[in-house]
Amino acid sequence: MADDDAPRPLPPRGPRPLVVHWVIDAAVVFLLTVIVALFLGAAVITVAIASAVAGVFLAPWTRSLEARGLARRAERAAESTTAEPQ
């Protein structure tokens, strides 16, 4: 693949807001636990509340992971623009 055909790097951006991470984390925890919890006799509202609480604790961690990934992506983009053609 020629250099001219290479895709452009994605534009830099900051991590998504903490509330977005909380909602996504809570939804993932809910989907991962709902079947087993219902099989064991837990109420859906209980599982939803527990998932929301788990999302509160997971959101800062997942946001920091996203920030590190975005920083790494920005570094690679900077390296590719400053790299000398061969």
Tell me, yes or no, whether 28 lies in a domain: yes
Tell me, yes or no, whether 10 lies in a domain: no
Q: How would residue 86 be classed by pLDDT, with cut points 50, 70 and 90?
A: low
Token output for 3: 């250099």
Q: How would residue 36 be classed by pLDDT, with cut points 50, 70 and 90?
A: very high
Instruction: Find the domain containing 30 and state its range.
Output: 15-80
Number of domains in the chain: 1
Residue 26 has pLDDT above 70, yes or no: yes
Residue 2 has pLDDT above 70, yes or no: no
Query: CA distances (Å), 28 to each of 40, 52, 80, in order?
Result: 19, 10, 35
Cβ atoms of residues 34 and 45 within 8 Å: no
Tell me, yes or no, whether 74 lies in a domain: yes
Tell me, yes or no, whether 46 lies in a domain: yes
